[in-house]
Chain A
Amino acid sequence: MSGTPKIALSGVHKNFGSKQVLRGIDLAIGRGESVVVIGGSGTGKSVMLKCILGLLSPDSGSIRIDGEESVGLIGQDREQLLRKFGMLFQGAALFDSLPVWQNVAFGLIQGRRMAPEAAKEHALDKLASVGLGPEVGDLWPAELSGGMQKRVGLARAIATEPEIIFFDEPTTGLDPIMGDVINDLIVDSVRELGATTLSITHDIASARKIADRIAMIYEGRIIWQGTVEEIDRTDDPYVTQFINGRAEGPIKMQLRAL
């Protein structure tokens, strides 16, 4: 990593009422780097992405994009900044009042004022790259399976070819083969677009494939980070428990015995 990081979080806190979700996140992502965040359900991974995008405002801490502080940006400045970003939401978040192709082309038509015909062509290209044929373009989001919605969401996130792309659980709900196609797509978009990506996943195989670096979040902090080789060699008990998927270990699920 050289120069200013593309994204730098330091000491980011976020509470919802009395519930502390983020308790001081420190994470830096270099230009063109692909970072994968792993961690248990409900540990605040999606909240962290939303804080970076400004959809949620952190209670304290700093988030720098290209070296510029972004916490507190609103209105035009925020809109300008968000042009650099693409985001795949965990629940796809497709616009259900628009057909699929318009969903994919939305950022081009509304955000970049591209002519609808050109944007449609572009959208169908992107759909093809996530394994969906042109006939899907005219369907409505409600007519798609969960996995197809996810792929349309992915096509929408990369359609404007942004500098920074966030993938919130890109392979959850996909069959293993399609999951691997999506992994390749993420790797390609980093390579071809030179995009910086931050992905969230529970899928260790996917993380191994797409990550330059893996970070693990636990109790609102990044407790470990390292490369894919390092994660296999680490003896950090939290990380080993997580990647091996064991119920016994330092990470306790809050369950009651039956």
Chain B
Amino acid sequence: MNLLAEFGRALGEPLAGIGRTFLHFLTAIGRLVIFTVVAVSHCARPPFYYRMIIRQLIDIGYYSLPVVGLTTLFTGMVLALQSYTGFARFNAESAVSTVVVLSITRELAPVLAGLMVAGRIGASMAAEIGTMRVTEQIDALTTLSTSPMKYLVVPRLLAGLTMLPVLVLIGDLIGVFGGFLIGAYKLGFNPSTYIASTWEFLEPIDVISGLVKAAVFGFLVALMGCYHGYHSRGGAQGVGTATTNAVVSASIMILVFNYVITEMFAG
């Protein structure tokens, strides 16, 4: 009898641990869903803080341009080189420009821009809002009859949602241009043939699906930054944790949603 109880306990401990972790996980999901619903519902109701929205638009859109531009430029260049090396093995070099433009617009510009912006913007949102939380500035906002959701979260969500597609569209152009540079000046393609075949197989849906991805990723990055900042606690260390969590969770969600959206457009 005793032995059985002992055995049950030994078995129970790790199981209880798993159960606890699972419950924690479910609570976290629940909190995130509630946060998202509340934040989105605030997007539609006045008052709107236009100055805050504009500041975020500039911060996300304008100041992320160099990072996104560099990323897509080099990605386009590498793509041209790599696909040339590969395709030369079965005499399909002419497909290089098509591969570059499709990979960039459908996949690489949104994903890479999303990841770069997650590192740049998601982290700074989490750090800023997290610091405001632990220094009671968010409480102070509330006591001054200003909803922190409307004042802090909504402008960031809107800016993420709208600016990432713009960034990605510019990134598309720069990436394709990077491929063109390598194609025309290093691999010896005729410039005008390269450009012509870039357009030949490109369909609007390629670009649009990339922009839809970008909008979703931008929203996710801002959401993760705000959520983790908003719920941070416990001083500098808490803000550090919130920042890490914001970047990691945004990056993972970008990769997961990238698959989901690709699947939707493929189906």
Question: What's the least CB distance linking A154 to chain B, in Å?
Answer: 13
Chain B residues in 8 Å Cβ range of A110: 49, 144-146, 151
**Which residues of A are found within 8 Å of B131, using beta-carbon distances?**
96
- How far apart are B34's CB and chain A's nearest CB, in angstroms? 12
B136 touches A93 (CB 8 A): yes
- Knowing A87-B140, A110-B151 touch, does A82 contact B145 (C-beta < 8 A)? yes
The answer for the CA separation of A79 and B144 in the assembled complex, in Å, is 9
Are B145 and A50 neighbours in the complex by a CB distance under 8 Å?
no
Query: A50–B139 contact, CB under 8 A?
Result: yes
Q: Which A residues are CB-close (under 8 A) to B140?
A: 87, 89, 93-95, 156
Point out the residues of chain B lying under 8 angstroms from A111, CB to CB. 144-146
Chain B residues near A83: list those with CB within 8 A: 145
A53 within 8 A of B: yes
CA distance A228 to B209 in the complex (A): 72
Question: Are the CB atoms of A107 and B139 closer together than 8 Å?
Answer: no
Residues of chain B lying within 8 A (CB to CB) of residue A218: none
Interface residues on A, range: 20 to 34
Interface residues in A61-102 by Cβ distance below 8 A to B read: 79, 82-83, 85-87, 89, 91, 93-97
B147 located at the interface, meaning its Cβ lies under 8 Å from any Cβ of chain A in the complex:
yes
User: CB of A242 within 8 A of chain B?
Assistant: no
Complex Cα distance A125/B143, Å? Answer: 21
Q: Within the complex, which residue of A54, A85, A93, A107 is in contact with B137, where a contact is CB–CB below 8 Å?
A: A93
Please give, as numbers and ranges, the residues of chain A lying within 8 Å of B144 by CB-CB distance. Answer: 82, 106-107, 110-111, 156, 160
- Contacting A at CB under 8 A, from B183-217, are none
Please state if A89 and B136 are interface contacts (CB–CB under 8 Å): yes
Q: How far is the CA of A52 from the CA of B144 in the complex (A)?
A: 15
Residue numbers in A under 8 Å from B135 (CB-CB): 91, 93, 96
B27 part of interface (Cβ distance < 8 Å): no
* A94 close to B146 (CB less than 8 A): no
Contact of B143 among A87, A91, A94, A96 (CB under 8 A): A87
Instruction: Please report which residues of chain A, range 200-236, place their CB below 8 angstroms from some CB of chain B when the two chains form the complex.
Output: none
The answer to whether B262 has its CB under 8 Å from any CB of chain A is: no
* CB of A253 to closest CB in B, whole Å: 24
Q: Is the CB of A91 within 8 A of B136?
A: yes
> Is A55 an interface residue, CB under 8 A from the partner?
yes
Measured CB to CB, the nearest residue on chain B to A80 is: B145
The CB with the most chain A CB atoms within 10 A, among B139, B142, B143, B145, is that of B143
Whether A82 lies near B151 (C-beta < 8 A) is: no
Q: How distant is the Cα of A55 from the Cα of B140 in the complex, in angstroms?
A: 9
Q: Cα distance A91–B137 when bound, in Å? A: 10
Q: Decide if A96 touches B137 in the complex (CB within 8 Å).
A: yes
A contact residues around B128 at 8 Å (CB) = 97
Q: Decide: A86 and B146 in contact? CB cutoff 8 A.
A: no
Q: A111 vs B147: C-alpha distance in the bound complex, in angstroms?
A: 10
| Chain B residues with CB below 8 A from A55, complex form | 139, 142-143
CB distance from B37 to the nearest CB of A (A): 13
Inside 8 A of A91's CB, which chain B residues have their CB? 135-136
* Most chain A CB neighbours (cut-off 10 Å) among B49, B140, B141: B140
Please state if B137 and A94 are interface contacts (CB–CB under 8 Å).
yes
CA A107 to CA B128, docked complex, whole Å? 21
Instruction: Give the distance to chain B from A98, nearest Cβ to Cβ, in Å.
Output: 10
Query: Least Cβ distance of B142 to chain A in Å?
Result: 6
Residues of B within 8 A of A86 (CB): 143
Instruction: Identify which of B49, B132, B145 contacts A107 (C-beta below 8 A).
Output: B145
Contacts of A85 in B (CB 8 A): 143
Contact of A79 with B139 in the complex, beta carbons under 8 Å: no
Q: Restricting to B125-157, which residues have a CB under 8 Å from any CB of A?
A: 128, 131-132, 135-137, 139-147, 151
Residue of B nearest to A159 (CB): B144
Most interface-central of B128, B137, B145 (chain A CB within 10 A) = B145
**Contact surface of A with B, Cβ cutoff 8 Å:** 50, 53-55, 79, 82-83, 85-87, 89, 91, 93-97, 106-107, 110-112, 156, 160
28 A-B pairs whose Cβ atoms sit less than 8 Å apart in the complex: A53-B142, A53-B143, A55-B139, A55-B143, A79-B147, A82-B143, A82-B144, A82-B145, A86-B143, A87-B140, A89-B139, A91-B136, A93-B136, A94-B137, A94-B140, A95-B132, A95-B141, A96-B137, A97-B128, A106-B144, A106-B146, A107-B144, A110-B144, A111-B144, A111-B145, A111-B146, A156-B144, A160-B144
Task: Give me 11 other A-B pairs in contact (C-beta within 8 A), A87-B143, A95-B132, A106-B144 excluded.
Answer: A55-B142, A55-B143, A79-B145, A82-B145, A83-B145, A86-B143, A87-B140, A89-B140, A93-B139, A96-B135, A156-B140
